[in-house]
A and B are shown apart, each in its own frame.
With several copies, the nearest count.
Chain A
Amino acid sequence: MRLEVDIQSKSYTSANGKRQQVISGIAFTLERGELGVVVGPSGCGKSTMMRILAGLDADYDGRVSQPAGARLAMVFQEPRLLPWRSVEDNVRLAAPEVTEERLTAIFGVLELEGHRNHFPGELSLGLARRVALARAFAVEPDFLILDEPLASLDDALAAKLREEIATLVASRPMITLLVTHSMDDAVRLGDRIFLLSSRPARLLHAVPISVPRAQRSDATVAALKADLARRDFSMS
């Protein structure tokens, strides 16, 4: 099971008829168990790429071979909850086989226990994003796409959830793609980091991180970040 990506080009035709290229060349493969992090400037085409990888958009040049038969879960950049279903129902609808036990565990970690019966409209944005995370976790996916999952959360909670993601990834052999603007998240979680150029997105660097996730001390992280910062600027 592996993910092979080779997007040569992706363009949008906007409502006023103009055509605009958004992706101009992104190719990589990701093996089972690997976590790839996608980093790039705002509006460069990251979410567009994730939609293609998730099979939501087939209108592009190139080829993506999704892991066959893999269960997909995705945390979209916005929560995308069903406003007319409770928090619990939103999760259960996506993951009907989830056990009560596991659900309680997930809600516990995400500090959502008190919000089970709330409707999404009654949540703060941070809470809603956590529900979206809970939904993805509950699915127990083989292929997980996270589009800025930790935005709008406070530092303490974000750190905790980063750990949680690391635990999840370690617990089962799955392919994970994480989009983030936080270099810290990228370096702490990623096995490989894909640096994209600004629009149209092109893969600038695919930086592998060889230090195992568990052994990344604050010092290693700082060093890796410094390294990345150099590369990033040298080409973009």
Chain B
Amino acid sequence: MLRLLSFALLLATWWVAATIAGSAKLPPPSAVLAVAIAEAKSGALFLHLGATLARVALAFTLSMAIGSALGFWMGRSRIANRLGDPWLILLLNLPALVVIVLAYIWAGLTEVAAIAAIAINKLPTAVVTLREGARALDPSLDEMAQVFAFPRGRILRHVLLPQLAPYIAAAARSGLSLVWKIVLVAELLGRPNGIGFEIGVAFQLFDIPLLLAYSLSFAAVVLVIEALLVQPFEQRASRWRLRAA
């Protein structure tokens, strides 16, 4: 289990760095873990983590679904691409802070505003990635599907999705991390709970172990999801790729 080894190495590196730098500059893993356990015992960790995870899940699903559809469309249709491009570039380069502030001003400090703002932030990166995927589709397989009169659903599932899979995987992985980072900002600016809220508090108090404990809790969740769900699935789905000799 190379992966476990690498994980152990990571912890060891952290430990060493903390020892060298001194706990004021970087608290050791044990200190962070102790804080995390304390927060978990008090229930605060789960409360905030739960709130954040719910927001992440919603915003992620929303933006991936709409973003993928839009990106696919822009990759396939020249007109859609021309029309959508200026909007895309604008959305892509609008700072998260601005979108979130505007959303809160427009829709109030509500859950809906937060999730919409986060989704809008993530949307364009999904569009950009899936657009490239759609451009790289193999037209010869399209023709095959057309000749054999594949219905839409079958084309999507058996012809398009497998070709788009690497793009979707890339968009999803970097997208999830982006959503999570933006959720933090949204929580910092206008939610009364969630990891971002706690990180804001920890930052104001400049309590680095607390800051790290909350920050890493999400990474831990993703690590577990990756190891137990995503990677086994990916391995199954890419069985058809012949390994390099």
Q: Do chains A and B touch in the complex (CB under 8 A)?
A: yes
Stretch at the interface among B29-37, B143-151, B196-204: B143-151
Point out the residue from B144, B158, B237, B241 that lies within 8 Å of A80, measured CB to CB.
B144
What class of interface size applies to chain B in its complex with A?
10 to 19
Chain A residues closer than 8 Å to B41, beta-carbon distance: none
CB contact under 8 A between A59 and B150, given known A15-B239, A80-B141, A83-B240: no
> Across the two chains, which residue of chain A brings its CB closest to B237?
A84
What class of interface size applies to chain A in its complex with B?
20 to 34
Are B154 and A93 in touch, CB under 8 angstroms? yes
CB contact under 8 A between A85 and B242, given known A78-B140, A139-B148: no
Chain B residues closer than 8 Å to A119, beta-carbon distance: 239-240
Interface residues of B in 125-151 (CB under 8 A from A): 140-141, 143-144, 146-150
Stretch at the interface among A32-40, A49-57, A196-204, A221-229: A49-57
CB contact under 8 A between A135 and B147, given known A83-B240, A121-B240: no
> Across the two chains, which residue of chain B brings its CB closest to A51?
B143
A163 within 8 A of B: no
Stretch at the interface among A68-76, A100-108, A212-220: A68-76
A58 within 8 A of B: yes
Are B239 and A54 in touch, CB under 8 angstroms? no
A58 to B144, CA, bound (A): 16
Chain A residues closer than 8 Å to B229, beta-carbon distance: none
Are B159 and A82 in touch, CB under 8 angstroms? yes
CB contact under 8 A between A82 and B158, given known A73-B148, A74-B147, A139-B148: yes
| Complex interface bits, B64-85 against A, C-beta within 8 A gives 1, otherwise 0 | 0000000000000000000000
| Complex interface bits, A75-104 against B, C-beta within 8 A gives 1, otherwise 0 | 010101011110001000111000000000
> Across the two chains, which residue of chain A brings its CB closest to B146?
A56
Interface residues of B in 35-50 (CB under 8 A from A): none
> Across the two chains, which residue of chain B brings its CB closest to A145?
B147
Are B148 and A84 in touch, CB under 8 angstroms? no
* A95, chain B: closest CB distance, angstroms: 8
Chain A residues closer than 8 Å to B149, beta-carbon distance: 71-72
Interface centre among A89, A94, A95, A119 (most CB of B within 10 A): A94
A111 within 8 A of B: no
B162 within 8 A of A: yes
B: which residues have CB within 8 A of A? Answer: 140-141, 143-144, 146-150, 154, 158-159, 162, 237, 239-242, 245
16 further contact pairs, Cβ within 8 A, besides A82-B159, A83-B162, A83-B240: A55-B146, A56-B147, A56-B245, A57-B245, A73-B148, A74-B147, A78-B140, A80-B141, A82-B144, A84-B162, A93-B148, A93-B150, A93-B158, A119-B239, A120-B240, A139-B148
Q: Supply 7 A–B pairs (Cβ within 8 Å), ascending by A.
A: A15-B240, A51-B245, A74-B147, A82-B144, A93-B148, A119-B240, A121-B240
